[in-house]
């Protein structure tokens, strides 16, 4: 029988995307009010790998990532996903944009070995956590680089995303030493 050990804290990552800079600014402000200052923030990348979100979010979407200074327990991912869903609804209710979903927030966490994302959608590769929330290992770190899985979303295969996640991983490793 293996020994049960407490988990190590993980780095909270939130992906935010919208076609509206004001929505991304609002989300970053609310996120920092909720989870504290960011350790790292990515550029605003062109989100061009799919048109899946276009009917509800419009075209010319930008995506950005925030990694937060305060490390979290990984089991908090459920409450964080529920809160990001509530923040999306709150922003949509402001009525500042014509789209049904002007803002999308996807939380996850990063360890030295993997990037885990939360989802409300079940699939063969996702594990149920609690309260309607699932998780998947989207990327894993092996042989000095981020590696996609068969199910990894096309945009998460991008080198510029991987460069940002490597910065996050380096920051997490620095804190662990």
**pTM, entire model:** 0.95
Average pLDDT over residues 104-130: 97
Rounded Cα distance, 151 and 174, in Å:
30
Overall average pLDDT of the 103-122 stretch: 98
> CB 162: neighbour CB atoms within 10 A?
19
pLDDT tens by residue, 21-73: 999 999 999 999 999 999 999 999 999 999 999 999 999 999 999 999 999 99
Sequence-distant (≥ 6) Cβ neighbours of residue 86 within 8 angstroms: none
Other Cβ atoms within 10 Å of 135 Cβ, number: 19
* Domain boundary assignment for the chain: 11-175
The two beta strands, 145-148 and 133-142, are antiparallel
């Amino acid at each position: 029988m293996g020994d049960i050990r407490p988990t190590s804290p993980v780095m909270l990552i939130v992906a935010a995307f919208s076609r509206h800079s004001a929505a991304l600014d609002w989300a970053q402000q609310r996120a920092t009010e909720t989870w504290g200052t960011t350790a790292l923030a990515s550029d605003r990348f062109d989100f061009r790998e799919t048109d899946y979100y276009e009917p509800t979010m419009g075209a010319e979407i930008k995506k950005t990532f925030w990694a937060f200074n305060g490390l979290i327990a990984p089991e908090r991912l459920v409450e964080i996903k529920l809160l990001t869903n509530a923040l999306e609804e709150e922003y949509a209710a402001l009525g500042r944009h014509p789209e049904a979903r002007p803002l999308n927030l996807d939380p996850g966490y990063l360890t030295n070995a993997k990037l885990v994302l939360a989802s409300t959608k079940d699939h063969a590769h996702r594990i149920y956590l609690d309260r309607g929330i699932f998780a998947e290992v989207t990327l894993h770190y092996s042989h000095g680089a981020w590696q996609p899985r068969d199910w990894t979303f096309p945009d998460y295969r991008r080198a510029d995303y991987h460069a940002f996640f490597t910065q996050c991983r380096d920051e997490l490793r620095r804190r662990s030493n």
